[in-house]
Amino acid sequence: MEHKTKRIPVKHIIGFILSLALTIVAAWAALGSDLPKGWVITGIMVLAVIQAAIQLFMFMHMTESASGNGHIPWNMMFHGFVIVAIVVAGSLFTMSYGFGHHHNDSPAHQQQHGEHMHD
């Protein structure tokens, strides 16, 4: 049988090295750097999305033409990601930022009452 596959899986090796590098960068940003918290959280979430894209495109054969491009329901995967965004962002918005100011965890509140005020 004829094989078009290359002997050395270059794409996989590049994807693997990239994913290791991104993990190390994310861990350093969170644990080893003095960057502001807001920047760290935004930054590592962006790194996680890049990592996920590496898995999807370099390991999961998402753009493979050998299947006639018929094996991935792009519309459904897109809907899946949209549902994730709505559920997570929507829950956070309504539960943490939207309504009800009775929580003790807003920064202004903590400043007013000093550091030893906790629930």
What secondary structure letter does DSSP report for 118?
A: -
What are the phi and psi torsion angles at 80 (to 5°)? -60, -45
Q: CB-wise, 71 or 113, nearer to another protein?
A: 71
How many CB atoms within 10 Å of residue 117?
10
Kindly state the smallest distance separating residue 112's Cβ from another protein, in Å: 18
Residues 6+ away with beta carbon under 8 Å from 30: 40, 44
Q: CB-wise, 38 or 114, nearer to another protein?
A: 38
Kindly state the smallest distance separating residue 118's Cβ from another protein, in Å: 10
What secondary structure letter does DSSP report for 36?
A: -
Q: Which residues bind another protein (CB under 8 A)?
A: 1-3, 5, 7, 9, 12, 15-16, 19-20, 23, 26-27, 30-31, 37, 40-41, 44-45, 47-48, 51-52, 55-56, 58-61, 66-68, 70-73, 76-77, 79-81, 83-84, 87-88, 90-92, 95-96, 105
Q: CB-wise, 75 or 112, nearer to another protein?
A: 75
Q: Tell me how far apart the alpha carbons of residues 40 and 26 are, in angstroms, rounded to a whole number.
A: 8
